[in-house]
Amino acid sequence: MSGVAPDELAEFTQRARQFLDANAKRLVTEFAAWGQGPDRIPLLEHADPEIEKQELTESRQWRQRVFDSGFGWLGGPVTYGGAGLSPVLDEVYRVLETEYDVPGRAFFGIARNMLAPAILDHGSESLKRKYLRPLFRGDLVACQLFSEPGAGSDLAGARTTARREGDGWLVNGQKVWTSYAHVAQVGELLARTDASAPKHHGLTMFVLDMDQPGIDVRPLRQMTGGAHFNEVFLDNVYVPDENRIGEPGIGWQVARTTLTSERGSVGSGESTLSAPLIQRLDGLISYLGKQDDPSARRALAEVLVADRTMRLLNEQSELRDHPGPLGSVAKLLFSRQLERVANTAAELLGDEFLADSGEWGTFAWTDFLLSAPGLRFAGGTDEIMLNILAEGVLGLPREPRGDTR
């Protein structure tokens, strides 16, 4: 693998496997395990609150064990709790972990892949020392307070304000589509601090303590029936100035760091279980007796080829300090892969997909199909990714902007 000497990679893989073998069970392949255990195929997590609480506890305990054993932040600087190794090893470890029956990482994706890179690139020394270790260790769940009812693709149009007040700022406004806000201890908040500046220059980023008066988190129900994300109302919420990420007015630059990293991580499939998902599709084909069906075989081959392409791309991204446009490519490949898997399952299942016959592993795909389109939007829509690649990489003319400021 590029970026890591073969000896180092072999030694690391052996060490990681020893840790995983000692602490977790290997996943039985879905085909072998067909009909056993829960048949949920989670994409946008939305469990019953009690189950979610339990899952969060288990996930946190696992992440803490991983971190304390030295595998939690391999590419991070030692000063802030990392192992000081190549960031490629983080991807190697992540992929190895998908072969084991361990709690998922979804609760901690925003902490690790969005808030932490923003603090690392733009935060003060004290913010780095205070937050990076707990964010990577799973001590803190983070949410991303960016989107607003009138500011999604046009994120720089955000209207939530932060006004100077003593040693800090008072925040007022509304955020929307905030994943995990209902379980988060901290939020990465984009707020307008200078209404007179052009819109991209009047924004500032903060780390917001979510457990304080004035924050009202209300669940939003999606078409699966679950509530993965929330509306967040902010009414005179205090944030100390020491929680500012970067100088006042550079919030847009900080947001770009976060979004680039977010796209890379969404694209890496980190929020889902890519290997088990493919095994589940493979298991479905076998269960339906379609192993020799040419269209099922072709569909599975396309999924496998796309998966391999995505893995190679992710290795390239991990090698760079900033994934740049690769993050947008990865995100596009990923949302298309989800669509491909969901549509393949739907076609294979036919009417078993529409009504719950009680057969294990069949109707469960409906939730996945209804969640997959959400990933075309999360982290910036596919159309926005295409615009970024067209303008920033191919040098095509910029599309006309509706705004003048």
Ligand X SMILES: Cc1cc2nc3c(=O)[nH]c(=O)nc-3n(C[C@H](O)[C@H](O)[C@H](O)COP(=O)(O)OP(=O)(O)OC[C@H]3O[C@@H](n4cnc5c(N)ncnc54)[C@H](O)[C@@H]3O)c2cc1C
Catalytic residues: 262
CB of 122 to ligand X, least distance (A): 18
First to last CA, the chain: 46
- 4 or 384, CB closer to ligand X? 384
What is the spatial distance between Cα 339 and Cα 371, in angstroms, rounded to a whole number? 10
3-state secondary structure 79-110: HHCCCCCCCHHHHHHHHHHCCECCCCCHHHHH
User: Among residues 153 and 236, whose Cβ is nearest to ligand X?
Assistant: 153
CA gap 354, 370 in Å, rounded: 12
Taking CB positions, which residue lies at the least distance from ligand X? 152
Nearest distance from C-beta of residue 182 to ligand X, angstroms: 11
Q: Least distance in Å: CB of 45 to ligand X?
A: 10
Chain residues binding ligand X by CB under 6 A are 44, 143-144, 146-147, 152-153, 177-179, 229, 374, 377-378, 380-381, 383-384, 387
Using CA atoms, how far apart are residues 324 and 160, in angstroms rounded to an integer? 27
Nearest to 180 by CA among 50, 359, 52, 371: 52
Rank residues 12 and 334 by Cβ distance to ligand X and give the closer one.
334
Q: Which is nearer to ligand X, 276 or 374 (CB)?
A: 374
Residue 162 beta carbon to ligand X: minimum distance, rounded to whole angstroms: 16
Q: Which whole-number Å values give the CA distances from 34 to 38, 355, 395, in the listed order?
A: 10, 20, 49
Which lies closer to ligand X via its Cβ, residue 354 or residue 386? 386
CA dist list (Å): 385 to 49, 255, 264, 317: 34, 15, 12, 16
Kindly state the smallest distance separating residue 146's Cβ from ligand X, in Å: 3
CA distance 98 to 93: 9
